[in-house]
Amino acid sequence: MDGERFLARVAAYRADGWRLSVINTTAVLPSDELPQGAFDISWSFALGTRLEHLRERVVPGEEVPSVSPSFPSAFLYENEMRELFGVDVTGIAVDLRGQLYRTATRVPFSPGAIRRRLEATGRLGDGARHAAKPQPRPTTEAGA
């Protein structure tokens, strides 16, 4: 992604009095075109009743500039992107160094991690349409 051009557009939103509403990341699973998967990141800005989005697709390892120069409050979203998805965000205003969430798995929502989970449960791709429901836990009562 073109970092400078992107930051200029973000700064324009700030200058026009927009509020950062949400930064959302969606993991794109690895495929033939994207062997490592990707992230679809959208930055949403709100003004009055309007909501506008900037959308970028980045691949793992690609640097995403922080929008903190314009919106310092973005630090929570950006720390979340890094901890849950593994997006390489640079220049976060308040860098929590992986301390925001306490998760059992490292970067649980990265494309690779999601793909591994889906593979393990047989829900990947077309299988998703026919995937099994979660099975009840075994119970221990007498006679069960």
Partner 1 sequence: MANPLSLPMSRRALRNLVARPATRRYPAEVRPRFPGARGQVVFDPSTCVFCNLCARRCPAAAIECSREERSFALDQMRCITCGVCVEVCNKHSLSMSPEPRPAHAVHDASVGGGRPRRQEWRLAERPAAGAGSGA
Partner 2 sequence: MKRTIVPLGPQHPVLPEPLVLDLVLEDERVVDAVPTIGYIHRGLEAMVEKVEYTEMGFVAERICGICSFMHGMGFCASIEDIMGVEVPERARWLRLVWAELSRIQSHLLWLGLGSDAFGFENLFMHCWRMREEILDIFEATTGGRIIFSVNRIGGVKRDIADSELAGIAERLRALGERFAEIARVFRADPSIHHRLAGVGVLPAGEALAAGAVGPMARASGLATDTRLLGTHGYDRLDFEPVVEAGGDCLARVLVRLREVEQSIDLIRQLVDRMPKGDGQPIETRVRGLPDGETFMRLEQPRGEVVYYLKANGTKYLERFRARTPTFANIPAMISLVRGHDLADVPNIILTIDPCISCTER
Residues that bind partner 2 (CB under 8 A): 17, 19-22, 24, 26-27, 42, 44, 46, 49, 51, 53, 71-73, 75-76, 94, 96, 99-103, 108-109, 114, 117-118, 121, 123, 128-129, 131, 134
Residue closer to partner 2 (CB basis): 102 or 141: 102
Nearest distance from C-beta of residue 11 to partner 2, angstroms? 13
Name the DSSP class of 131: P
| By the rule CB under 8 A, 140 interacts with partner 1 | yes
> Using the rule CB under 8 A, which residue among 17, 35, 48, 143 binds partner 1?
143
Mind spelling out the 3-state secondary structure of 38-71?
EEEEEEEEEECCEEEEEEEEECCCCEEECCCCCC
Q: Are 72 and 46 in contact (CB under 8 A)?
A: no
Residue that is written with structure tokens 């998967």 in the block: 37
Which two tokens mark 101?
């969430």
